[in-house]
Amino acid sequence: MKPLPPSKNAQLAVAPPMPIETRVPASPGPGLLHAGHVFVSSEGHSVVIILGSCVAVCIWDPSQGIGGATHFMLPASDEKGVPSPRFGNVAISMLLQKLLEAGAVRGQLRAKIFGGGCLFDSMREPGANKVHLGSRNVDIALEMLAKAHIPVVSSEVGGDRGQRVVFCTDTGHSVRSWL
């Protein structure tokens, strides 16, 4: 995949110590959002997200045509290190902040959640007695969005396979396929 060229209308947050960068997809096709990243745009862009136990939270303001997504790996930071969008609580907070900075109206925001699968047979066995990582990632996403009073209009989570999601930042349209 080609590196993303700079643009004044999109923001990509990368885990510290790397600075927040401004980027958009390199071609008319979708750009890949890697784990630990946040992408926000005031223009229409397609973002591709490949998920297993990771979760993607996609949020947009339909009235302003501003939207973005985050792809996180772990539910919550222990707050002992530098805040990183690899953690759901940090990633969702960063996404909301960047959306508002781009001009989104908080009361108009809508969310979709994807991922949170359980890809290991041993975790799905009846006697496993463990809450798998994907489920914990989904729980933190739902909790953070509820606290922010952002309605979740679609949730395609869980399962025993990975997902490929394409999310359109301006319309909120999404397509999910199993891997």
pLDDT digits (tens, 9 = 90+) for 2-49: 444 444 455 544 433 332 333 333 333 458 999 999 999 999 999 999
pLDDT for residue 19: 29
pLDDT for residue 122: 60
pLDDT for residue 11: 52
CA distances from residue 96 to 37, 38, 58, 119 in whole angstroms, order as listed: 13, 10, 10, 29
**pLDDT-wise least confident of 82-86, 94-98, 102-106, 120-124:** 120-124
CA distances from residue 70 to 23, 41, 45, 123, 128 in whole angstroms, order as listed: 14, 12, 14, 25, 30
Q: What is the mean pLDDT of the chain?
A: 83
Other C-beta atoms within 10 Å of 67: how many? 31
Strands 163-168 and 152-157, by their bridges, are unpaired
Gap between the Cα atoms of 95 and 98, Å rounded? 5
pLDDT for residue 25: 32
**Residues 74-87: what's their mean pLDDT?**
87
pLDDT for residue 123: 58
Q: Residue 166 contacts by C-beta under 8 Å, 6 or more apart in sequence?
A: 30, 46, 47, 48, 49, 174, 175
The percent of residues above 70 in pLDDT, for the chain, comes to 78
**Residues 62-81: what's their mean pLDDT?**
92
pLDDT digits (tens, 9 = 90+) for 113-125: 999 998 876 655 5
The band of 79, judged by pLDDT with boundaries at 50, 70 and 90, is: confident
Structure tokens at 108: 């108009």
Nearest to residue 140, comparing CAs of 153, 125, 152?
152
pTM equals 0.81
The band of 80, judged by pLDDT with boundaries at 50, 70 and 90, is: confident
**pLDDT-wise least confident of 7-11, 104-108, 144-148, 165-169:** 7-11
pLDDT for residue 130: 67
